Amino acid sequence: MKQCFFAVDLGATSGRTILGSFGEGNLELEVLNRFPNHLIEAGGHFYWDIYELYRNVLEGLKSAARRNDCVITSIGVDTWGVDFVCVGSDGAFLRLPRAYRDPHTTGAPERFFTRMPRSTVYGLTGIQVMDFNTLFQLDTMRHNADSALAAADKLLFLPDALSYLLTGEMVTEYTIASTAQLVNATTRRLEPSLLHELGLSEKHFGRFVYPGETVGTLTPAVQRLTGLGPVPVIAVAGHDTASAVAAVPDTGKDFAYLSSGTWSLMGIEAAAPVLTPAAEALNLTNEGGVEGTIRLLKNICGMWLLERCRPGWGNASYADLIAETKAAEPFRSLINPDDPTFANPADMEQAIRDYCASHLAQPQLETRGQVVRCIFESLALRYRQVLDSLRAFSPRPLSALHIIGGGSNNHLLNQWTANACGITVVAGPAEATAIGNIMIQAIAAGQATNITAMRSVLSHSLNLPVFEPQDTPAWEAAYRRFTHLE
């Protein structure tokens, strides 16, 4: 029987479990289950239902156990960044984890910077300042005398928390920890001075591990529930973007990437962190990658804008929305996708309309096709703005932009991104995060020597669409308008 690898890939709006194997130099994938990931609002706060996520992971493992054509070699878990679980001294979770979109951290960075200057924090971590970074979540919880934090014996980032439920072993995986603004970008370990400011120490975290290390094996209880044996759980690149970037099907060094989903994360791979004043001024982030790389990138609001509009449209199909978008007037109105207005409004469509009305006296958006066109064109122009800033930090010219993740299926936005950025766009793979997860497991199992070898397999086994720039003058004019929004 063939060796199969089980990937748990959880995003901020949905999750999936996927079975992967490498046969005759080709990657084979099979989705075992997909499930929604809902924010829970209670008492004025937003939480994740980690137990429901865990239940769905178990359902996927049960499906894998029933297979008679492969043996499950290992399991890996990746999720979105920054969020964490407080664990009591008895090993129990003390409360559902707060979601990064909880408003309790609004203004938190400024409060923290009165004790430790912004430049000092950036010089240590190289991480983009965002209200919801773990550093500011923890500082806010401490400021508010949060009972779960006060009683916490350990803090586990979400992929590590799920691995703990599966194995009973507590670890802190490097790539997910690097999103927290608690890891020293140079030493690639937890930074003692930041922990001290929070009243914490390394003992509050699990054993520090890097992608490819073993967390543990399934507990007897999980074996009984799933029908599997003592399968090892591997610490993959626990941050979903780190796993996705590992799966970029390019063996060169002259590419940029755009991980497109709820968030759009655009960046380049670097050999060392970039901690310069120029990087700090642009609020670029240096997150941990695989095999010693640094993901120098920028977080951009992505499909969150559209996904928050769709419920008001009866969750209209993407096919219908794309058709209406194509028919709408080009460049009617534009927004800055990263404006704080769009972080978590009660009515996203109205927030977009209000923004257009208050910036450059733009025409009102009258149809949903116009709204979606505004979102897509604005995202493409924001990608141009960020890509231009990244070019200054790349040691070589960037010849291609790889769009990976679910957003790579949006061929209209892919083409508009090529138009706006003036660069060749290669779209896919859509399941890049799960593929990167599986690649790390395969390397740990001895099926490949390194990421470059795995990327070579991908580049030869995938037939991906390519988009070349078009309509350059019109997009240049639109970009000039876009840069005057603020």
**3-class secondary structure per residue, 274-319:** CCCHHHHHCCCEEEECHHHCEEEEEEEECCHHHHHHHHHHCCCCHH
The DSSP result for 127-163, as a single string, is: PPP-TTSHHHHHHHHHHTT-HHHHH-SEEEEHHHHHH
Tens of pLDDT, residues 69-107: 999 999 999 999 999 999 999 999 999 999 999 999 999
Q: Which domain holds residue 19?
A: 2-238
Q: What is the rounded average pLDDT of the residues 193-212?
A: 98
| Averaged pLDDT, 458-479 | 94
Cα–Cα distance, 29 to 26 (Å, whole number):
10
**pTM, to two decimals:** 0.91
Whether residues 87 and 234 share a domain: the answer is yes
- pLDDT computed for residue 462 by the predictor: 87
Residue closest to 35 by CA, chosen among 49, 45, 25, 23: 49
d(CA 306, CA 272): 35
Rounded-to-integer distance, Cα 264 and Cα 283, Å:
15
Q: What is the pLDDT of residue 304?
A: 93
Of 196, 211, 238, the position where a domain reaches its end is 238
Shared domain check, 337 and 188: no
pLDDT band at 230 (very low <50, low <70, confident <90, very high): very high
Residue 33 lies in a domain: yes
**What pLDDT does residue 26 have?**
81
pLDDT tens profile 112-126? 999 999 999 999 999
Has residue 370 got a pLDDT over 80? yes
Report percent pLDDT > 70 for the chain: 100
Contacts 24+ apart (CB under 8 A), 13-17: 13/37, 13/262, 13/307, 15/53, 15/56, 16/434, 17/56, 17/57, 17/59, 17/60, 17/61, 17/63, 17/64
Residue 302 has pLDDT above 80, yes or no: yes
Do 316 and 230 lie in one domain? The reply is: no
pLDDT at 281 over 90: yes
Q: Has residue 443 been placed in a domain?
A: no
Same domain, 318 and 452: yes
| Backbone torsions φ then ψ of 270, nearest 5 degrees | -125, 155
CA angle 78/254/25 to nearest 5° reads 55
Q: Is 481 a domain residue?
A: yes
Among 287, 292, 252, which residue's Cα sits nearest to residue 266?
Answer: 287
Residues 172 and 271 in one domain: no
Local confidence band at 27 (pLDDT 50, 70, 90 cut-offs): confident
Q: What residues are annotated to the active site?
A: 240
Regarding whether 257 and 125 lie in a shared domain, the answer is no
pLDDT per residue as tens digits for the range 388-434:
999 999 989 999 999 999 999 999 999 999 999 999 999 999 999 99
Q: For the residues 48-53, what does the mean pLDDT come to?
A: 98
Contact 485, 352 (CB under 8 A): no
Residues 57 and 173 in one domain: yes
CATH of the domain at 308: 3.30.420.40
The pLDDT of residue 24 is above 80: no
Query: For the segment 124-170, what is each residue's pLDDT rounded down to a tens digit?
Result: 999 999 999 999 999 999 999 999 999 999 999 999 999 999 999 99
Average pLDDT over residues 350-355: 97
Give residue 22's pLDDT.
Answer: 85
The total of structural domains in the chain comes to: 2
Tell whether 141 is covered by a domain: yes
- Predicted pLDDT at 219: 98
Please indicate, yes or no, if residue 254 is contained in any of the structural domains: yes
For residue 25, is pLDDT > 80?
Answer: no
Mean pLDDT of 193-205: 98
pLDDT of residue 133: 98
Same domain, 202 and 320: no
Q: Does residue 486 register a pLDDT over 80?
A: no
pLDDT of residue 429: 95
Across the chain, mean pLDDT equals 96
Which is more confident, 370 or 27? 370
How far lies 304's CA from each of 12, 107, 193, 309, in Å? Answer: 10, 22, 34, 9
Query: CA 292, 272, 426: angle at the middle one, nearest 5?
Result: 75
The confidence score (pLDDT) of residue 448 equals 87
The pLDDT value given to residue 200: 98
Please state the separation of Cα 33 from the chain's center in Å: 20
Boundary of a domain, candidates 211, 238, 265: 238
pLDDT tens track for 431-459 = 999 999 999 999 999 998 999 999 998 88
Kindly give, in sequence order, each residue whose CB lies less than 8 Å from that of residue 225, ignoring residues fewer than 6 positions away: 58, 62
* Residue 433, pLDDT score: 95
442 within domain boundaries: no
Q: How much is the average pLDDT of 226-236?
A: 98
Query: What is the mean predicted confidence (pLDDT) over 36-55?
Result: 96
CA distance linking residue 102 with residue 198, whole number of Å: 19
How far apart (Å, rounded) are the C-alpha atoms in residues 126 and 285? 6
Question: Do 277 and 209 lie in a common domain?
Answer: no
Q: Is residue 325 part of a domain?
A: yes
pLDDT at 139: 98
Percent of the chain with pLDDT over 90: 92
Shared-domain flag, residues 317 and 216: no
Tell me the H-state helices in 20-98. 50-65
| 93 within some domain | yes
Domain shared by 233 and 303, yes or no: no
Q: Which of 349, 352, 353, 322 is nearest to 339 (CA)?
A: 352
Q: Are residues 178 and 324 in the same domain?
A: no
- Angle, alpha carbons 255-132-292 (nearest 5°): 35
Last residue of a domain, one of 238, 268, 294: 238
